[in-house]
Amino acid sequence: MASKNVQHFNDVNFDQEVLKSDKPVLVDFTATWCGPCKALAPIVDQLADELGAEVKVGKLDIDESPVTAGKLGIRGVPTVMVFRNGERAAQHVGLTTKAKLKELIGV
């Protein structure tokens, strides 16, 4: 079951919710047809539940928000990016572990 702490980002709200956020933001770029994305989803949900007070966690479906995905050069999913102060601070492409995601966030 998806976590209530995972936000949904899109072309409309990305700038406000991610780039203008006052805390670090982990964005999981995903797609409904992507098998590894489905495997990563519970890990992202766990992180959102654990770190929700200090880090904003959300997903962006690349098929529903192609403008943002294109601007950021997303070529494969899953891609996870961490943004701090409106800048891309870290990135990982492909399925990964919760430990690696925490390392990207810096916690």
Contacts 24+ apart (CB under 8 A), 84-93: 84/24, 84/25, 86/19, 86/20, 89/24
Looking at the predicted structure, is the pLDDT value of residue 56 above 80? yes
Whether 30 maps to a domain, the answer reads yes
Mean pLDDT calculated for residue range 103-107? 93
**Rounded to an integer, what distance in angstroms lies between the CA atom of residue 20 and that of residue 28?**
17
Q: How far apart (Å, rounded) are the C-alpha atoms in residues 85 and 23?
A: 7
CATH of the domain at 51: 3.40.30.10
What's the mean pLDDT in 37-61?
A: 96
Local confidence band at 52 (pLDDT 50, 70, 90 cut-offs): confident
In a domain, 73, yes or no: yes
Whether 19 is in a domain gets the answer: yes
Domain assignment of residue 50, given as a range: 6-105
Q: What is the pLDDT at residue 64?
A: 97
Confidence at 42, pLDDT banded by 50, 70, 90 = very high
Is the pLDDT score of 36 beyond 70? yes
Instruction: Supply the pLDDT for residue 66.
Output: 98
Pair 32, 63: CB distance under 8 Å: yes
What amino acid positions are annotated as catalytic residues?
Answer: 34, 37
pTM reported for the whole predicted model: 0.96
pLDDT of residue 21: 97
- Do the domain assignments include residue 46? yes
- Per the structure, how many domains does the chain have? 1
Q: Is residue 1 part of a domain?
A: no
